Structure 1
Amino acid sequence: MNKLDSALLNILIKDARASFADIARQLDISRAHARARVQALVEAGVIEQFSAVVNPEKLGKVVSTFIDLRVSPVAIEPVAEELADCPEVVSLYIMSDLQSLHIHTLTDSVESFDAFVRERIFNRPEILSVDCKTLLARVKNRRGGARL
């Protein structure tokens, strides 16, 4: 990847709908060259998809919560797969200690979140501990990633 590709990616991160003509104008290259570079980045797997950034609050998802679970290592993958299928879970990561899950949930109310944890997390012997925090203010979003 070169400087041109980096600049092109920055344009697409800010606006995935930017046309090849817009990209070409901003980078002072031809439209055909802009199209070829985007296609090359897609084929190389650098660009995995083009997506929209959705504001969860506009969809009524106003409670953003981060959960850290410590799970029995033998159960970590089944628990992760089950929780990943829940509509409340917007991201889920298995951490490097191989016994922790880091989960981000979005719900429409504290009551919805409470129902989620009561149904999916509480009273499970394979879940050894829970640490949970609700977001107060978003200061910086991950560039190029969905907020949902």
Structure 2
Amino acid sequence: MDSTDHEILALLVEDGRMSFADIGRSIGITRASARERVQNLMGNGFIEKFTIVVNPGLLDKSVSAFFDVQVTAQAIVIVAETLANLKDVSSLYIMSDMCSLHMHVLVKDMGALEAFTHAHLFGHPDIVNIQCKMLMSRIKQRRGGPRI
């Protein structure tokens, strides 16, 4: 992977629908070369998939909460898989201490957040501690994976 591939990735992180011609014009290569490079990046696993960024507020999901959930070590994978399958969980990570999950939840309102916590977190035998922080304002949003 060279600097041209890095430039292509940066462009696609900003606009995954950018045409091969526009990519080529932006970095000084041909449309055919841009197409070939993008296909190689996909084939080699650098690009996993193309996706969109949705404005949750317009989808009636105005409450954004971040949870740090401490789980018994023997149950972390099972709890993580269960939570990851819930529609209100937008992202979930197993953290390096191997007993913590970091989870982002998007819901309609505070009542929905309370219902979520009661249904899926409180009283769970393998969850030993829960911390929740609410999003106040979004300053910078990650798009398309890590910046390269």
Pick the TM interval, shorter chain: over 0.9
Other-structure match for 2:127: 127
CA RMSD of superposed structures (Å)? 0.9
The percent of aligned pairs where both chains have the same amino acid is 48
Other-structure match for 1:54: 54
Alpha-carbon offset, residue 91 of structure 1 = 0.6
Alpha-carbon offset, residue 101 of structure 1 = 0.7
Alpha-carbon offset, residue 4 of structure 1 = 0.7
Alpha-carbon offset, residue 77 of structure 1 = 1.1
Taking the aligned partners of 2:117 and 2:56, their CA distance within structure 1 comes to: 20
- 1:70 aligned counterpart, secondary structure: strand
Consecutive unaligned residues in structure 2, runs of 5 or more: none
TM-score (norm 1): 0.94
Q: Show the 5 A alignment for 1:8-19.
A: 8-19=8-19
Alpha-carbon offset, residue 24 of structure 1 = 1.1
Q: Show the 5 A alignment for 1:16-55.
A: 16-55=16-55
Q: Show the 5 A alignment for 1:1-148.
A: 1-145=1-145
The answer on whether the counterparts of 2:53 and 2:143 sit within 8 Å (CA) in structure 1 is no
The number of residue pairs the alignment matches comes to 145
Once superposed, which parts of structure 1, at least 4 consecutive aligned residues long, lie more than 3 Å away?
Answer: none
The answer on whether the counterparts of 2:66 and 2:103 sit within 8 Å (CA) in structure 1 is yes
AA of the residue aligned to 2:22: D
- 1:103 aligned counterpart, secondary structure: strand
- 1:137 aligned counterpart, secondary structure: coil
Taking the aligned partners of 2:125 and 2:39, their CA distance within structure 1 comes to: 49
- 2:86 aligned counterpart, secondary structure: coil
Alpha-carbon offset, residue 125 of structure 1 = 2.2
Taking the aligned partners of 1:17 and 1:124, their CA distance within structure 2 comes to: 42
Taking the aligned partners of 2:88 and 2:120, their CA distance within structure 1 comes to: 11
AA of the residue aligned to 2:82: E
TM-score (norm 2): 0.94
AA of the residue aligned to 2:121: I
AA of the residue aligned to 1:121: L
Alpha-carbon displacement from aligned partner over 1:61-120 (angstroms, at most 9, x marks no partner): 100000011111111111111111111101111111111111100001110111011011
